[in-house]
Amino acid sequence: MKDTYILAFESSCDETSVSIIKNGHDEIATVVLTQMDIHALYGGVVPEIASRHHVESITIVIEECLNKAGMKIEDIDAIAVTYGPGLIGSLLVGMQAAKTLAYLYNKPLVPVHHIAGHIYANNLVQPMEFPLIALVVSGGHTDLVLMEEDYSFKRIGGTLDDAIGEAYDKVARVINVPYPGGPLIDKMAFEGEDTYKLPIPLDDDSYNFSFSGIKSAVINLVHNEEQRGNKIIKENLACSFQNRVTDILVKKTMKALKEYNVHNLIVAGGVAANKGLRSKLEKECKLENIKLCVPDIKYCTDNAAMIGAAGYYAYKLGRTADLNINSKANDSLK
Ligand code: KG4
Ligand code: ZN
């Protein structure tokens, strides 16, 4: 069978990334240019600055990716791009680049939902086996998704308020840990002990999550201790927070696997890099005989390789778009 090469674009937040993926699973080349250091100065992503940096970087990143792969655009079968959700000014830069190349080189254009990309990052590790449950944990999402076949997404639950990554970043901010706080809180959690009394996030029979209560509890606790002149032991707070949120994520995920009689679990999104979450899931999945797949750390946070992997399956299913397609700041996974 002839190989299919996808040229993929991702620019939904603060990473400008271009990748070439063969047959939905072989990474030929990926370039990721992160703006993290720039936004760290402001304590979070500044949308206007992000889109300006995408504009400055995109052509350089495209050229570098093609050079790395030793390929020309003529060798590509289709062009995939994150159409949403994300920061609109950032999304538009990737979309415009993808549309321009699709028009100039007469290639099919394949729009990819950002979360479909995060899910398909797992296909770069090993072929995804269906049915599966995907635990999606990122800066903007916390969802449990049932997939019975390629590119079929059934959301069975998700956060009612803050996304898990967002909660990590806000907790980090209140204890003066620099943006993005998630990875540092994760590291600190292993250096501390679970000593702080924090509420258990929404522990009911549903597959929904709620992290705003525990986030507010951390903020209040820090402020109260400061007013009393007491010192916060940051590592212990990180450990207590991480335990509470990962326990509930793991509990509801394992319940979903049981109820839907599914034996494959994949984890997707930036928080899939979390060591506490990974080790708890590994332990539970071993006990319950569930096949667990987590992406390599470099594929957990935003990158275009995952968009190329998802884009391949979307392309095979004929999910192409014409040049009138627009980026969308919000859109559900379907
Ligand atoms: O998927 P992603 O790169 O961007 C979105 O699509 O949102 O996820 C970024 C989020 C940030 O909130 C970051 O703090 C969090 O993922 N994150 C982590 C870890 N690594 C990244 N959160 C907890 N533990 C980590 N190790
Ligand atoms: Zn993401």
Over the stretch 20-57, which tens digit does the pLDDT of each residue have?
Answer: 999 999 999 999 999 888 888 888 888 999 999 999 99
Q: What is the pLDDT of residue 69?
A: 98
pTM: 0.95
Residues 6 or more apart whose CB falls under 8 angstroms from that of 157 comprise: 143, 144, 206, 207, 208, 209, 252, 256
Residue nearest to atom 3 of ligand 1 (CA): 301
Residue nearest to atom 23 of ligand 1 (CA): 182
- Residues 258-264: what's their mean pLDDT? 98
Q: What is the pLDDT of residue 43?
A: 82
Please state whether beta strands 26-34 and 78-84 pair in parallel, antiparallel, or not at all (unpaired): unpaired
CA 322 to centroid of ligand 1, rounded, Å: 32
Q: What is the pLDDT of residue 180?
A: 85
Residue nearest to atom 14 of ligand 1 (CA): 182
Q: Is the pLDDT of residue 85 over 90?
A: yes
| Beta bridge partner(s), residue 30 | 19
* Reported confidence tier of residue 181, pLDDT bands at 50, 70, 90: very high
List, chain by chain if needed, residues with CB within 6 Å of any ligand 1 atom: 13, 118, 138-140, 165, 168-169, 180-183, 186, 269-271, 273-274, 301-302
Q: Is the pLDDT of residue 279 over 90?
A: yes
CA 86 to centroid of ligand 2, rounded, Å: 8
* Reported confidence tier of residue 127, pLDDT bands at 50, 70, 90: very high
Percent above pLDDT 90 for the chain: 94
CA atoms within 13 A on the CB side of 275: 11
Q: Is the pLDDT of residue 179 over 90?
A: no
Task: Verify cis geometry, omega within 30 degrees of 0, for the bond prior to 180.
Answer: yes
CA 137 to centroid of ligand 1, rounded, Å: 8
Q: Is the pLDDT of residue 1 over 90?
A: no
Closest ligand 1 atom to residue 179 Cα is 14
Q: What is the pLDDT of residue 40?
A: 84
220-259: per-residue pLDDT in tens?
Answer: 999 999 999 999 999 999 999 999 999 999 999 999 999 9
Residues 6 or more apart whose CB falls under 8 angstroms from that of 202 comprise: 160, 208, 209, 210, 213, 248
Among the bound ligands, the one closest to the CA of 165:
1
